[in-house]
Amino acid sequence: MAVSDPVFTLADLERWSRPGTSLAVLGHPIKHSVSPPMHNAALAQLGRNDWRYHRFDVHPDDLPRALDTLHAKRFHGVNLTVPHKIIAFDRVAAVDPAARPIGAVNTLRWSPEGWHGFNTDGYGLAAAVHETLGVDLAGAHVVLLGAGGAARGAAVECLRLRCASLWIANRTRENLDELLESLTPLAAGVPLHGFAPATPPRDLPIGSLVINATSAGLRPDDPLPIDLARLPRPAAVYDMIYNPPLTALLRAAAALGLPQANGLAMLVHQGAKSLEIWSGAPAAQTAPSMSVAARAALASA
Ligand code: NDP
């Protein structure tokens, strides 16, 4: 899926002289990102006519130079996506306390001292599962699939909001153990367990929220991250993937009659929270226009 907004490069950035307030998303690859139409729709809604959101394809090796240049060019805010969130964490002047345990930042705001880093993914996830599935992470039994950056943000948010229990499954045991070890100090009494996706424990709670935070499902030939038929039911399933809109996991959930939703609402809500950090406009005000724009961009691409 390609989106019609231009993709800029580091060379474009070095020549950048656009007046007004500039925002950017950096990723590698970035050509599938619907963040520019999504943010630009919200900026139009807010009447910020001299604000514009752009996307840049930046190789991870070039990220430090890109961040320095964006700061020197006075970009007001930056979003970071794969694979930059963790690399940028060590390169910001200040980190929001809520982002520290995640070890990754997806939102930067310009300050004279340097970039101020935030992470809005956890907010986006919590708002998305509430909106799409009617589930609150607080008090939920959560089965989280994956141990990468997105899973880490999700796990920290589940523990911060005091979910009832957190069960994490990952293909590579070593990565799972590393994640569990770093989460243990944050658990504060919330039961925290790890398991291999092929062998779900018998005592998984009934009525869990299953969250796919693996990248399995992005490609048509990907394996299922878990066999939902082996989990106690009823359960609800949230897949962070939004393109394709219906992954094999979501199809399996539908076949079992389970409530399910894809990652589009998470994309929208994390984006609206970033815009709130940059503009002060409440996320709840801009999320609806962002949602319409993101859906339209995905449908037309
Ligand atoms: P990472 O590369 O950091 O982590 C990937 C995870 O997926 C790892 O746990 C990896 O397991 C697992 N995995 C990869 N391939 C397979 C496979 N074939 N079978 C089983 N497990 C697999 O990626 P992120 O954490 O940054 O992103 C994960 C997903 O979340 C992506 O699809 C991304 O698009 C989505 N996402 C969506 C957002 C939204 O707003 N909707 C926001 C952020 C992310 P292992 O340890 O074994 O390698």
Residue range 12-47, pLDDT digits in tens? 999 999 999 999 999 999 988 999 999 999 999 999
Indicate the domain borders of the chain: 7-119+271-300, 122-262
Among residues 149, 187, 150, 185, the alpha carbon closest in space to that of 167 is found at 187
Among residues 98, 162, 167, 169, the alpha carbon closest in space to that of 136 is found at 162
Mention the CATH class of domain 122-262.
alpha beta
Q: Given pLDDT bands bounded at 50, 70 and 90, which one contains residue 234? A: confident
Would you state the pLDDT for residue 255? 97
User: Which atom of ligand 1 lies at the shortest distance from residue 124's CA?
Assistant: 40
Average the pLDDT over 110-136 and give the result.
98
Would you state the pLDDT for residue 1? 52
Would you state the pLDDT for residue 4? 75
How far is the C-alpha of 196 from the C-alpha of 20, rounded, in Å? 51
Looking at the annotation, which residues are catalytic? 85
Would you state the pLDDT for residue 301? 78
Q: Given pLDDT bands bounded at 50, 70 and 90, which one contains residue 3? A: low
For the whole model, what pTM was predicted?
A: 0.96
Residue nearest to ligand 1 atom 11, measured at CA: 171
Residues with CB under 6 A from ligand 1: 82, 121, 124, 146-151, 170-172, 175, 213-216, 218, 222-223, 225, 240-242, 263, 266-267, 270
Count, residues in the chain? 301
Largest CA distance in the chain: 60
Would you state the pLDDT for residue 128? 98
pLDDT digits (tens, 9 = 90+) for 185-214: 999 999 999 999 999 999 999 999 999 999
pLDDT of 5 above 90: no
C-alpha of residue 82 to centroid of ligand 1, in Å: 10
Would you state the pLDDT for residue 233? 86
Q: Which helix (H) or strand (E) covers residue 12, if one does?
A: helix 10-14
How far is the C-alpha of 158 from the C-alpha of 209, rounded, in Å? 11
Would you state the pLDDT for residue 2? 54
Same fold, 7-119+271-300 and 122-262: yes
How far is the C-alpha of 269 from the C-alpha of 267, rounded, in Å? 6
C-alpha of residue 150 to centroid of ligand 1, in Å: 7
C-alpha of residue 63 to centroid of ligand 1, in Å: 21
Q: What percent of the chain has pLDDT over 90?
A: 95
Mention the CATH class of domain 7-119+271-300.
alpha beta
